[in-house]
Amino acid sequence: MTFAELFKYEIKPHQAETFPLNWEEIFRRPAPLVLEIGFGNGEFLIEWARRNPDWNLVGMELSLESMERALKRIQAEGLSNIRLIRDNAKFAVRELFGESTLDYVIMNFPDPWPKERHRHRRTLNAGFIRTLANVLKKGATFELTTDQGWYAENASELFSASGAFEVLEFRRNLHRPISTKYERKWLKLGRDIFNLKVVKRNTLDVGRIIEGKKMPHFILPGNVDSQQVFSLKDFFHKEDGKVFAVKEVFADSTRAVFLLKVVSTDDDYSQTFYLVVAPRSDGYIVKIDQGVQPYRTPAVKLAVRKIGEILSQEAQ
């Protein structure tokens, strides 16, 4: 089994030219589009795909280990109606799916982050529910399964308060035709499982932040001094909710080409990427290194512009 065979099931959204993504083009067919957030080992998603060959299924997960396991299982099953994405759901669902495109979304046993100081880490919050109210079709369902009753109750309250959803079911120890390994184990041990289903009634607007088709760049009309570039290490800048910091600065043996490791944050979504500062015929250019492509968000564009401005001022 080659890497090419495995990774034909994985989507690399950072490489896309336009957003939200064109899912009919990705799957090469029109079909109901459904999403599992946090697919773990892929067991539930794969069985879902096997039973519904006429659906297009997307799985979203943060764990690299889970991604690798699921890719191998999908390849072994020979399924063609699944694609996987490794990304943060609170950001990626909003940016990668257009308005009224999803027919069903499910979350099985998300991390509830029970401590109050970790509340901001929970996927299900008012902002994410607004995203779901945008990307789901009217009449489409969101389903949550969890072993934490308080979490299901809190989710039910958030959905009801949104003005966009109606609670259909809130059931305990529901027998589902497709279940997870841990769900079956916990039910066998007598542990309570809670299932919440809500249906979308109204569409809400969301603000998407990935911008433009081209990566940003900044042209410097003159030369730059290596010390000027190295002085950017640990530089931090915040502007209108956008943040970036330069973590490391590297240079080639001639100290003419530089690589800056940058971390940027838009709201609560962080990206790590590299900026190249390199000579050209009419001066220097600051641009994104093609090795690790970030999404073209406002904070990424700010980093390119601000670093270019600083080096431009120092070069004068």
pLDDT at 3: 47
pLDDT at 205: 97
Residue with tokens 């998407």: 208
Write out the two tokens for 209: 């932040």
**What is the distance between the alpha carbons of residues 292 and 255, in angstroms, rounded to a whole number?**
22
Q: Which residues contact 168 (CB under 8 A, 6 or more apart)?
A: 141, 197, 198, 199
Write out the two tokens for 227: 């010390």
Residue with tokens 């079956």: 184
Q: Which residues contact 18 (CB under 8 A, 6 or more apart)?
A: 213
123, 107 in Cβ contact below 8 A? yes
Q: Show pLDDT as tens, one digit a residue, over the chain (316 residues).
A: 444 555 689 999 988 989 999 999 999 999 999 999 999 989 999 999 999 999 999 999 999 999 999 999 999 999 999 999 999 999 999 999 999 999 999 999 998 888 888 788 889 999 999 999 999 999 999 999 999 999 999 999 999 999 999 999 999 998 889 988 888 888 888 889 999 999 999 999 999 999 866 778 999 988 888 999 999 999 999 999 899 999 999 999 888 999 999 999 998 899 999 999 999 988 999 999 988 889 999 999 999 999 999 998 865 5
**What is the distance between the alpha carbons of residues 182 and 188, in angstroms, rounded to a whole number?**
10
pLDDT at 1: 46
pLDDT at 175: 85
- What pTM was computed for the model? 0.91
> Which of 245, 271, 288, 299 lies closest to 88, judged by CA?
271
pLDDT at 315: 52
In the DSSP assignment, the letter for residue 155 is H
pLDDT at 281: 86
